[in-house]
Amino acid sequence: MGRSKFKMAANNLISENEFYAIAFFGIGAATEAKTKAYRLSIAGKEIKDESGIVTKIEPVQNSGYTISMLQNDFGQHRLPNEETARYLLRATQSWATLHRPELKFQENEMERFIKELSRNGKEINRENGKPLHPKIRPAVDAFLASDAGIAFTHSLDVKQIANINKNVFTPLAQTPLYQNSNRDDKIRLLAVASKTFNQNESAGKAVVRAIKQGRHHSLNDVYQHIDSLGGYLARERPRAVEGAEIIISLNKASPNNPLRKEWERILENPLKLPTQRKGQERKEYDEILSLFFNSHTAIKTIQEKDKAVQSHSLNADEQTVQTARHRSQPHPILAQLQEQAARYRHASEVMNSGNQAEIERVINEFASNPAAQQRFAQAEQRVAEEYAAREKQLAEQAEQERQRQETVDNEPTRHVAMIRR
C-alpha cells in the first residue's frame, strides 16, 4: 500500500470523513453490530428447544429484528408499508432464485413474512414472543453473507449515517459547546450524541436540542443528560465513549504505528463498500474492524504496537551508532552524545507524540526509578566533565597558538634590531 493521502486537520475541526468513521466504526462496529452486521439478530433473548429451534423471543424493550453495522431495526426504521423489510425480502428472493433456489419463498408467503420481520418489541410481546417463520432466517442470512447482501446491508448503513449527519453532526458543529471543545472532546461528544440518536431518534434530537439551547456547558453535562434517560440509553452511553477512545488512540498513535497508518488510509474513504476492498486493503480493513469489535482490548493493542515501534527505532539507533563507531572514531564527547541520543530517543518520541497515556507512563517510570535517574545524572555528569576537559584542552591549544603567532609577529622586529647593531 502507498502512503496515505489523508491528513487529519492540524486544527480542531472534524472532517466529514472523520465523522463517517466515528459513526461506522466508533458507534457501529464498537457498540452496535460487533460481528453480527451481516445476519439477522435481535436485542434480547431467543429461547430454543433441545433441537436448537427458536420457540420464543423476549426482546429488550421495543427492539425488533436488525441488520447492518448500525443495526438498522426493521421495527423502528420502517417506512410506510414496511418498505425496508419488503426490500430485504425481495432482494433475498431475487438472490435465492439465482444462487440458492432451495431457499426461495412462495409468493403467497411474502406479505406474511414481511409483517413478521417488521414487528417491533411491543408487537412481538403482544404475540407472546412468537418467533420468525423458520424459512425466513436461513434465506436472509445466506443472502446477507453474499456480496449482494453485504452491498444491500451497507446501503442501509450509509443511509443511516447520512441521517445522523443531518440530525447530529451538522447542528452540533454550529454550537458553542462543540466549537469550544478540544478535538478529543469533539469526538466524544459526536459519539455519545450519535449513539443516542441511533438508538432512539427522539431522545437523540432532545440531546442535540438541549446543547443548541445552551443548557449544557460541558461534555459531562451531556453525559449526565443521557444517563438521566435511564435504561438502555444510559447503559450504552459509556460504550459510545469507549468507541470514541479507540479513535482518539489511533489518531494519537506513533506515526510509524502500522495501525495508525491503516486507520489513516481508511479515513480516505471510511464508507467504501467492504467488498470493494481487496488484498492488502481488505486485510487492513479487517484488522481495524477487529479493534472495534474487541473494544475492551483495543487501546492496549494500539499501545503495544507503539512500544514495538519505539523499541525497533531504539535498536536501529543503537545499530547506527555501532556502525558509525566502526567507520570512524569520533571525538569522545560526540560518541557520548550519540549514545545518549540513542538511549533516550524513544522517550523523546513519546513526549512529543501527543499520546497522554504514554507520556504519563514515561514520566511515572522515570520518577519512580531511582536507578534510571542516577544513570541519567551520571551520564550528564560524564558529558559535562568531558566537555570541560575539551574546553580546557582547546584553551591551552589557543594559548599555544597565540604565543607562536606572537613569536612570528615579533620576528621582523628582532631582525631589524640585529641590523642596527
**When comparing pLDDT for 1 and 185, which is higher?**
185
Whether pLDDT at 319 is above 80:
no
Find the mean pLDDT for residues 275-294. Answer: 96
One-letter amino acid at 133 equals H
Whether pLDDT at 7 is above 60:
no
- What pLDDT, on the 0 to 100 scale, is given for residue 374? 57
Whether pLDDT at 414 is above 70:
no
Band (pLDDT 50/70/90 cuts) for residue 34 is confident
Q: What pTM was estimated for this model as a whole?
A: 0.72
Mean of per-residue pLDDT scores for the chain: 82
- What pLDDT, on the 0 to 100 scale, is given for residue 51? 87
Residue 132 phi, psi (nearest 5) = -65, 150
- What pLDDT, on the 0 to 100 scale, is given for residue 419? 36
What are the tens digits of pLDDT across the range 134-154?
999 999 999 999 999 999 999
Counting beta carbons within 10 angstroms of the beta carbon of residue 328, is it exposed (0 to 12), middle (13 to 18) or buried (19 or more)? exposed
Whether pLDDT at 341 is above 50:
no
- What pLDDT, on the 0 to 100 scale, is given for residue 28? 96
- What pLDDT, on the 0 to 100 scale, is given for residue 363? 52
Band (pLDDT 50/70/90 cuts) for residue 314 is low
- What pLDDT, on the 0 to 100 scale, is given for residue 43? 86
- What pLDDT, on the 0 to 100 scale, is given for residue 376? 47
Strand partners, 45: 58
How many C-beta atoms lie closer than 10 Å to residue 44's C-beta? 15
Dmax (CA) for the chain in angstroms is 138
What are the tens digits of pLDDT across the range 397-412?
767 766 766 654 554 4
Q: What 3-state DSSP class applies to 390?
A: helix
CB under 8 Å to 336, separation ≥6 — which residues? 379, 382, 383, 386
Strand 65-67 relative to strand 41-42, pairing: antiparallel
Q: Evaluate whether 73 touches 42 at the Cβ level (below 8 Å).
A: no
**When comparing pLDDT for 402 and 68, which is higher?**
68
Percent of the chain with pLDDT over 70: 71
Residue among 243, 244, 251 nearest 306 (CA): 251
Q: Which of 51-60, 215-224, 282-291 has the lowest mean pLDDT?
A: 51-60
Find the mean pLDDT for residues 351-355. Answer: 51
Find the mean pLDDT for residues 198-207. Answer: 95
Find the mean pLDDT for residues 13-20. Answer: 95
Report which secondary-structure segment, H or E, holds 57.
strand 54-59
Find the mean pLDDT for residues 48-76. Answer: 90
- What pLDDT, on the 0 to 100 scale, is given for residue 15? 95
Counting beta carbons within 10 angstroms of the beta carbon of residue 344, is it exposed (0 to 12), middle (13 to 18) or buried (19 or more)? middle
- Cα distance between residue 54 and residue 250, in whole Å: 41
How many C-beta atoms lie closer than 10 Å to residue 169's C-beta? 23
Find the mean pLDDT for residues 8-19. Answer: 80
**When comparing pLDDT for 110 and 404, which is higher?**
110
State how far the alpha carbon of 191 is from the alpha carbons of 152, 204, 212, 253, 390, in Å.
25, 11, 17, 20, 59
Whether pLDDT at 229 is above 60:
yes
- Cα distance between residue 391 and residue 401, in whole Å: 15
Find the mean pLDDT for residues 184-196. Answer: 98
Q: Which of 63-77, 263-277, 335-349, 373-387 has the lowest mean pLDDT?
A: 335-349
- What pLDDT, on the 0 to 100 scale, is given for residue 405? 60
Residue 67 phi, psi (nearest 5) = -145, 170
- What pLDDT, on the 0 to 100 scale, is given for residue 205? 97
